[in-house]
Amino acid sequence: MQATLDASALKPFTRALACLSRYGEDLAIYATPDSISLSTTNSSKSAYSRFKYGRQFFSKYSVTSSGGSHPDEEEEVAVSGQLLTKSLLSILRHRTVEKSVERCELSIVNGGAQDTADEDQDGLESKLIVRLHCKHGVVKTHRLLLLTLTSFLAPGVPDAANESHLTVGPRAIRDMIEHFPVPKGVRSDPQLIWNFGESEVEVKSFESSLDSKGRMQLSTELSISAEEFDLYDVYSTPTTIAFHLREFNATIAFAESMSLALEIRFTDPAAPLFIDVEGDNADTLFVISTSQVPGAPMPSQVSTNTKKREREETPRDFARIKKPMKAVQATDAASFAQADRSARSQSTSRTAASMPPPPVPDRSFRSQHETFEAQMTPVASRVREPLFLPTSSQPLSQLSAADEQVIRGTGLGIEDMNAEELAMMLEGEGEEVAFDTGSQVSTRPKVETESDADDMEFEPTQSSEDQARGFQPLFED
């Protein structure tokens, strides 16, 4: 791998490294012919950061086959390695670099692939060579040992269905956060609780972020108008999440230094928060684990369905407070490359799968949102099965036996009806019946339950109760 940075590209690159170094110690490098991605994960795997630079970012960029060193690799040429972020950063961030460096060459030399690949020539070690061409023809060459990428960590692809989207400028968000003191010296990492309401965002310090001696006795609470956000689209209000500040601050500092806006996406408490910072030739993704706030108002809707997402299949009945999800999961590089390639073939970035739906201008009405979601269902249909009245032929088989008995007892004969028949039947007398089209019938309960997707503290059997409530007008007749 060979990449050349000119002086103007070196600065954002160094800033990216500085940001990465605040996320985690180890820097994973993964270079494909089209892009190079630098990523890091913190030690508790609760935060992940990835910078991906397209080849246009570099004045020269090439990835050549590493020869016979990896014969088992697919035809895709990829170079990877891992090193301490600090050792690279300390070279590039040195104060003399900014003044004097005219060109920076990064190259990765694979162990076996050196021209003189003799084993006794120390050729087994892969190296990242940083060559700085300074003014007056001074050349500084730093050779950093490159380790084999041991565990490849990648963030889970977020579920786009119930995502909330926020876009905010770095200054605005820093103005919010700077009210919350970060104790210096100790490796304390305060958490903030964010409560996203209809028109206001409440931010307050998390009680447990007091240090062990209880010194930080200051509890701060801040209310901000949602108008501070350039885009404010919270899927279900109020949503309350909490996350740590350390990595978030690093992200803000980076966004501010690059004057780029932050696009924040999140779903549920305890599911990770995604932040995209889009710049020229660079695609930046940050993932930060969030935690559920004990005692926070839960979204009021009650879950009725059992099948949402694969990752919820683990039973969670015993724990009300869920463990925060890790920001990353271990994957193998090959699958990453696979995803990378497939994403590229779609001429989009890898995050395409997790891309938010195109923002809709100011969806203030829930119903608009719902119809929008309904239009989006082809994308999400795989995940979200219709809750009831799913097909034209299916009877009301989802009701419990007892309920079915009751329905049969009414003598209305609706037990064998399908959705359309029921809707037709309801149509005539529906003063207080809220739904009149099939599509709304199917979307409404889904919307109500979606926001609470991960909180399956209720037994599935209650769904019958819920449905019974849905049929209440029918029985009152």
Give me the residues that bind other proteins (CB under 8 A), please.
83-84, 87, 90-91, 94, 96, 100, 127-128, 136-145
100 vs 281 by CB, closer to other proteins: 100
Structure tokens at 110: 């694979």
Angle, alpha carbons 287-293-299 (nearest 5°): 95
Using DSSP bridges, classify how beta strands 200-205 and 191-196 pair: parallel, antiparallel or unpaired: antiparallel
142 vs 322 by CB, closer to other proteins: 142
CB 285, min distance to other proteins, A: 27
Token look-up 């409440």 returns: 202
Task: Give the helix/strand (H/E) hosting 109.
Answer: strand 101-109
89 vs 264 by CB, closer to other proteins: 89
Token look-up 């998390």 returns: 206
CB 59, min distance to other proteins, A: 20
22 vs 127 by CB, closer to other proteins: 127
CA distance 139 to 263: 40
CA distance 57 to 54: 6
87 vs 440 by CB, closer to other proteins: 87
CB 252, min distance to other proteins, A: 26
CB 1, min distance to other proteins, A: 16
CB 356, min distance to other proteins, A: 40
Residues 412, 424 contacting (CB under 8 angstroms): no
Burial 266-285 (b: 16+ CB within 10 A, else e): bbbbbbbbbbbbebeebbbb
Distance of CA 269 to the CA centre of its chain: 12
Torsion (CA) 448, 451, 455, 460 in degrees, nearest 10 = 30
CB 280, min distance to other proteins, A: 29
Burial 438-464 (b: 16+ CB within 10 A, else e): eebbbbbbbbbbbbbbbbbeeeeeebb
10 vs 423 by CB, closer to other proteins: 10
DSSP state letters, 202-271 = EEEE-GGGS-TT-------EEEEEGGGSSEEE-SSSSEEEEEEHHHHHHHHHHHHHHT--EEEEE-STTS
5 vs 293 by CB, closer to other proteins: 5
CB 5, min distance to other proteins, A: 17
CB 62, min distance to other proteins, A: 21
Question: Which residues are within 8 A (CB) of 364 and not within 5 positions of it... i.e. 6 or more apart?
Answer: none
87 vs 371 by CB, closer to other proteins: 87
